[in-house]
């Protein structure tokens, strides 16, 4: 197998092309700040990245104002004073497929290999509030995550896993409250007090209207459900992060780094406003907010993005919402490496991409990290691929020196200049969202979706033209790809889930389920917190589909407006 010839110059573009740097000894290319008439390279957000940065780029720059100390406002340098010098980030591995029993086996393997936090992927029917035996679920059961139809599936999913000792993140949005309550019910069965349960439920429905599409209810009742979840967690689950405000999926849809943080933080502002309007004290719930971002291969801009996001959020919480507790001002976030940048061609190259992306997240100060498996562009990860992804994090934590010092990039002319540029552009975009009436109003106008689609189109054009190099796709290709055997989900899973549901409905107390669902409808039509009757219904073994259908009867479903 041979690769195709390179389309560019093989050894740089200057008279000393074989010298590292490809230009003059000073790296400047010998003519002007950007080299010999060459235009500066653009960042992922379309901003100029200069070949050389220096003290002049930080003229009038106040380190105390822009940086502060690690663990102190405005948290540019990280949310904790010691960061990874005391202990590394939480190493999560996102997993879930097929049945609860199969996913449980994968979780046990990950824990045995050193995973310090679990991250649950749910299948599409569960994400959309449908049971596995619903007509609309046909062909999708267990495909992109684990099928969870009732508390019995949740019990199997965490069988033998002590919920009082493991931190669990659940990637679920529209029906997030249901899955959280099922988790709590299983914890109660294990004898784990609610105040010992730790983890995060994504619960970020606004980005579903922008980027993913796994919404159920219209925005207003969806926000009411989010606010009820905030209040419930504040009263019942004090150590649980009740939302993970997510930019990752926007990035997967084509958002630039600036768009990713701008739209994510705008959504965060909307959630805080909703909670405050519902009568909650900002310093009671804000310390339990968390965020979720992507980490791309463009390391310098990603580090700058994370620093800028922390600084913006700290100022918003302090100056806009009057938060006094420093924990309310901290932007704590989980990171996942960029699935959208993985390729089905030469999939082993993804190991390199993931290592660079993981390093960017660590240098950017993430609190937890999931590293994608190299085969995810083809199918669900194999056991070996998932283990290699975890080993990538362990190498970063234990074999490099990036954990030896807090904030290794502080004071870098390039990174600090890029951080300022990302911050300025993100604030401008957040202002445009506010001008449209805030995140929900802008969503209803299709603003964020249209902006992301424009950027995605730009990326596609650059890739098709070869201006954007994707190794193995438009450069450095193989004449013939090597064979690879992916993990495949057994199609019989759907039939087995249908049988489990039929047996569940036969064995449970049908009258108790109907009574609980009636109480849920009454709460949804009124102003009471719906999570308490919701928990009663799930304890009675009502299914995900039955509970969501009860809420659909009261709240309706979301139908996106045609904005084009």
Delimit the domains of the chain by residue range. Answer: 74-465, 493-555
Tokens of 468: 């954007």
| Cβ–Cβ under 8 Å, residues 438 and 269 | yes
Helices 219-236, 176-189: axis angle to 10 degrees equals 20
Give the pLDDT of residue 381. Answer: 85
User: What is d(CA 93, CA 106) in angstroms, rounded to the nearest whole number?
Assistant: 10
**What are the respective helix, strand and coil percentages of the chain, to the nearest 5?**
50, 10, 40
Q: Environment class of residue 74 by beta-carbon count within 10 Å: exposed (0-12), middle (13-18) or buried (19+)?
A: buried
Q: Omega into 74 within 30° of 0, i.e. cis? A: yes
| Cβ–Cβ under 8 Å, residues 244 and 200 | yes
Q: Environment class of residue 318 by beta-carbon count within 10 Å: exposed (0-12), middle (13-18) or buried (19+)?
A: middle
Closest CA to 248 of 267, 232, 275, 222: 267
Give the pLDDT of residue 403. Answer: 97
Tokens of 151: 């508390």
Q: Environment class of residue 65 by beta-carbon count within 10 Å: exposed (0-12), middle (13-18) or buried (19+)?
A: exposed
Residue 201 zone, left/alpha/beta (φ > 0; ψ -120 to 50; rest): beta
For the chain, the residue count is 564
What are the residue ranges of helices labelled H in 436-543?
439-444, 447-465, 493-507, 510-525, 531-539
User: What is d(CA 338, CA 370) in angstroms, rounded to the nearest whole number?
Assistant: 10
Q: What is the DSSP string of 54-88?
A: -GGGGTT--HHHHT--TTSTT-TT-SSSSGGGTS-
Does domain 74-465 fall into CATH 3.20.20.240?
Answer: yes
Closest CA to 362 of 406, 326, 310: 406
Ranges under pLDDT 70 in the chain: 1-38, 487, 561-564
Name the pTM for this structure. Answer: 0.88
* Adjacent-strand bridge partners of 471: 475
Give the pLDDT of residue 445. Answer: 93
Count of C-beta atoms within a 10 Å radius of residue 54: 11
Give the pLDDT of residue 322. Answer: 98
Give the pLDDT of residue 561. Answer: 66
CA–CA distances in Å: residue 349 to residues 48, 341, 373, 399: 28, 11, 11, 21
Closest CA to 195 of 240, 241, 242: 240
């Amino acid at each position: 197998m041979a690769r195709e010839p390179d389309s560019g110059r093989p050894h740089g573009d200057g008279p000393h092309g074989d010298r590292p740097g490809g230009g003059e000894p000073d790296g400047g290319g010998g003519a002007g700040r950007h080299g010999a008439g060459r235009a500066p390279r653009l960042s992922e957000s379309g901003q100029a990245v200069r070949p050389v940065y220096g003290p002049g780029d930080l003229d009038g720059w106040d380190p105390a104002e822009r940086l502060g100390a690690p663990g102190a406002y405005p948290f540019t340098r990280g949310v904790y004073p010691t960061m990874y010098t005391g202990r590394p980030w939480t190493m999560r591995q996102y997993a879930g497929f097929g049945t609860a029993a199969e996913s449980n086996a994968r979780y046990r393997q990950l824990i045995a290999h050193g995973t310090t936090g679990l991250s649950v992927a749910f299948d599409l029917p569960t994400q959309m509030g449908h049971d596995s035996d619903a007509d609309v679920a046909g062909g999708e059961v267990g495909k992109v995550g684990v099928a969870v139809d009732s508390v019995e599936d949740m019990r199997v999913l965490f069988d033998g896993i002590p919920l009082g000792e493991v931190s669990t993140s659940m990637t679920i949005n529209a029906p997030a409250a249901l899955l959280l309550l099922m988790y709590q019910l299983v914890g109660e069965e294990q004898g784990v007090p609610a105040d010992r349960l730790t983890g995060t439920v994504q619960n970020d429905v606004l980005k579903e209207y922008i980027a993913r599409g796994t919404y159920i209810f219209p925005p207003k009742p969806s926000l009411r459900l989010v606010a009820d979840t905030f209040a419930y967690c504040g009263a019942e689950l004090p150590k649980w992060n009740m939302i993970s405000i997510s930019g990752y999926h926007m990035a997967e849809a084509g958002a630039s780094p600036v768009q990713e943080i701008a739209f994510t933080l705008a959504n965060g502002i909307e959630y805080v406003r909703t909670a405050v309007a519902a009568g909650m004290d900002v310093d009671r719930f804000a310390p339990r907010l968390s965020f979720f971002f992507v980490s791309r291969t463009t390391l310098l801009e990603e580090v700058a993005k994370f620093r800028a996001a922390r600084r913006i959020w700290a100022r918003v919480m302090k100056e806009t919402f009057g938060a006094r507790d420093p924990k309310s001002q901290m932007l704590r976030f989980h990171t996942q490496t960029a699935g959208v940048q993985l390729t089905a061609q030469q999939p082993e190259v993804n190991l390199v991409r993931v290592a660079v992306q993981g390093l960017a997240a660590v240098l950017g100060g993430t609190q937890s990290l999931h590293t994608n498996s190299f085969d995810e562009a083809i199918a669900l990860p194999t056991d070996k691929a998932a283990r290699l992804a975890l080993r990538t994090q362990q190498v970063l934590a234990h074999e490099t020196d990036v954990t030896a010092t807090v904030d290794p990039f502080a004071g870098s002319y390039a990174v600090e200049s890029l951080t300022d540029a990302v911050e300025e552009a993100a604030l401008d975009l957040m202002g445009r969202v506010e001008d449209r009436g805030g995140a929900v109003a802008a969503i209803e106008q299709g603003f964020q979706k249209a902006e992301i689609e424009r950027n995605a189109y730009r990326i596609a054009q650059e890739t098709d033209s070869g201006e954007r190099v994707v190794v193995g796709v438009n450069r450095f290709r193989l004449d013939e790809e090597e064979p690879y055997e992916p993990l495949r989900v057994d199609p019989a899973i759907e039939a087995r889930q249908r049988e489990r549901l039929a047996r569940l409905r036969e064995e449970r107390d049908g009258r108790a389920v109907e009574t609980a669902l009636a109480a849920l409808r009454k709460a949804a039509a009124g102003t009471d917190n719906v999570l308490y009757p919701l928990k009663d219904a799930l304890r009675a073994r009502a299914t995900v589909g039955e509970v969501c259908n009860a809420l659909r009867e009261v709240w309706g479903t979301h139908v996106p407006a045609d904005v084009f």
